[in-house]
Amino acid sequence: MYRDHSDPVARANCPAVCNLLWPVLVFALLLSAPAARAVEVLTVHELVSHCELMDEEPEGGDAQFCTRYIQGFVDGAVATDVRVMLNAEAQTGTESFSQRAKRTRAPPRSEQFRASRLAGFCLGDPLPLRDVVDKVVVDLVALDVDDTAESPARDAVYTSLRQHYPCPDE
């Protein structure tokens, strides 16, 4: 039977416990909900499942996923390292407004090269993206066995880039 809680008579028939039951029920449902992760970790196996299809369909969705993941990893590492480097250098002394404005704009290529050393890999002169991707994919496929298949793809990509593109000694 449906109760109309806007009716004062129906409200009087519902004990005070009814009013307390709803918050407890909602709270219990929230506690039983599975924990959400902010970012789901992409595994080596999941990335390899896309990268393996690059030769069959180089313009297909899987090949593009693989290529863009590796390209995004490189771009993100360089961009982050440039910002970290410039911010660390800025903290060593006081900077004027114009110095800070210059530092926070798009950094010149020379700063990107200096910062790439922080990442532990240096791509140097512009390389064809496919060459970089091919080297990383070979390493990923080799890791797609046993426990390493479930390890984070980002760690495998990073290790591969450091191995194939080490920074020259100054």
Q: What angle do CA 165, 129, 64 make, to 5 degrees?
A: 125
User: Whole-angstrom Cα distance, residue 115 to residue 77?
Assistant: 9
Give the tokens for residue 36: 């959400």
Per-residue pLDDT tens over the stretch 64-106: 999 999 999 988 887 776 666 666 666 666 666 676 666 556 5
In the prediction, which pLDDT does 45 show?
A: 96
Q: Is the pLDDT confidence value at 118 over 80?
A: no
Which of 27-36, 129-138, 145-154 is predicted with the least confidence, judged by mean pLDDT? 27-36
> Which helix or strand (DSSP H or E) is residue 74 part of?
helix 61-90
Q: List the chain domain ranges.
A: 44-164
| Helices and strands (H and E) in the chain: how many | 8, 0
The token duo for 140 is 């990923």
Q: Nearest-CA neighbor of 153 among 167, 141, 135, 163?
A: 141
Cβ proximity of 91 and 103 under 8 Å: no
Residue 131 pLDDT: 94
Who contacts 130 (Cβ-Cβ below 8 Å, separation ≥6)?
67
Per-residue pLDDT band at 39 (split at 50, 70, 90): confident
**Degrees to nearest 5, angle at CA 79 with 170 and 71:** 95
Q: Report helix, strand or coil for 43.
A: strand
pTM: 0.62
Distance CA 121, CA 77 (A): 10
Closest CA to 45 of 119, 146, 168: 146
